[in-house]
Structure 1
Amino acid sequence: MSYPDVIKPEDLLCPRPAGLYCPPGDFYIDPVRPVDRAVVTHGHADHARAGHGVVAATPETLAIMAVRYGEDFAGRREPIPYGESFTRDGVSVTLVPAGHVLGSAQAVVRWKGLTMVVSGDYKRRRDPTCARFEPVPCDVFITEATFGLPVFRHPDDAGEIRSLLLSVAQFPDRCHLVGAYALGKAQRVIRLLREAGWDKTIYVHGALERLNALYEAHGVDLGPLAPATASGPKDAFAGQIVIAPPSAIADRWSRRFPDPVDCFASGWMRVRARARQRGVELPLILSDHADWDELTGTLDELRPGEVWITHGREEALERWCQLEGIPARALRLVGYEDEEGE
């Protein structure tokens, strides 16, 4: 692949210990340690960290960071709505939807005729809580590979929610306790339940309340919610659905519920051993990341000159690219955790 004016992709973006760095623009994308200037693709803690001098991100991501880290999480904020750009030393950066969580973005970086897209974390299927992924033609596409193995083919979301509601109907004397990560997954499960016709109050762990309120403030209607802390007999939660962070499921906090059916909403629930290890009675295969078909389908659609893989199951996706005649390399960036947001 020949690039404009013999520019190499590494001249525009290159991996460094702090993360993916842009030398001509002097900024990082999703740095894993504090830097002077950062572009942040979304609000999960493995991509969005406090302590940077300047953070450029979507307004939603900046609001999420303020909720998670406090209003002084950075020296200065630069809100960049979807479709808008900023230019620094000749480098243009545009943020477009990634479909991962509220405010998640791909960073489209352009310089001297070269276009590189840093996708961050993304998924291709519809999500009622965030803007849908927008493909952008590019010379280099930088992708995750969290579920970069052919075994990971996520089922239909609506079918997983039907399984949950069927279980609720079958066990009316039990509480269904759903483990879902606080940012993105919890709100998506709630919205999918609403779309499936569950209009009753959904009870939530206190750790979700501020993020739920933020989603509501950005136009995501979550319906009637209540804290899962009400005093009274255990059977008050019989037949109810409670959403909580996965860590709370194994905590003494969960003992307040009547014979709970432990559920976990995650793409990792495709692996039965993981469900057994967590003691999950009802696995719900709901992922906020692209599965194997979405990863390969995206690369087939874009047909970039090169593919860079940030983290995850790099080897299988790199091999797929080779078989398809697309040059690929694994960056093996350190600091991006498969579990965060999943």
Structure 2
Amino acid sequence: MKKIAVITTGGTIACTTDPETGRSIAGKLTGEKLLGAYKDLSSDQVELEVFSAFQIPSNAMDFDKLLLLKSVVESFLIRTDISGVVITHGTDTLEETSYFLSLAITSHKPVVNTGSQRIPGEIGSDSFANIRDAITLAAADQPDCSGTLLVFNEKIFSPRSVRKVHTSNVDGFAGGQIGTIDRGEVFIQCTATAAKACFDTLPALAVVQLIKAASGMSDLFIRAASTSNAQGLVIEGFGRGHVPPGWLPAIKAAVDSGMKVVITSACDQGRVYPAYEYPGSFADLTANGVISGQDLDAKKARILLACLIGSGQAVDSQSFL
């Protein structure tokens, strides 16, 4: 019988309801209470060991907690009796945590992340279905199921490409789907994109800020980031990787000060590329020392940049492929 560790961190999947306001209280349930209510997978199929790492809404996840979660996951993966790990997590930052773990965990055992859009006691809740599917994937005897993955609404995703695409619908994630889980059977259509960088030893995560470009914005936030304690900056630009033309002097000053500045696109698909020649274009930015974020979205680029700087690795456009 396989043994799966279930690490809980809070989120909607661990919610209860405030009796006065009727609103959900994220992370209220401990892992033991959450899994105690989960009866779908019978004990003769898999043995579960539950550990509550945090009881927080996922908007409270930060870099310190990511490093702590990494150490907790690794403490289970090194055990010979553990076949895989499931992590339950709030959906707001689930894609970021999943991507970080895909970079930082080197074990070939499966690490499966999941969450829910509806609380456990709600009609039509996806909480226990997603837990069931995550455990099924973690216990599957398939080589393509190794490493870090994300499961949601019967779909299996690569952390590099997955995004939360709906605020509340149970079909809340898309991008980078590699397979499905149908009535307890795992079907893999393609392998997950492997993380090129590896940060199994990571003393710290660097402070990295993220700024989104919009029409007519001033360079106020660029200048503020340059004078903060940030070591890196990710800019989510337009289209192929462009920013308002008036931003360039502040961006150049940030680069000249030693800050690592990465440009990404707000578009869901495609990569940044020097297709145009005008002030604030991708070509203009990279000519002034800005680094290409390739096809990574801004939040994932921020995680990767924080890992690269924190580990002392070189940072260039090749790092983001």
Which TM-score applies when normalising by structure 1? Answer: 0.25
Higher relative contact order (CA 8 A, sep 6+): 1
Which TM-score applies when normalising by structure 2? Answer: 0.26
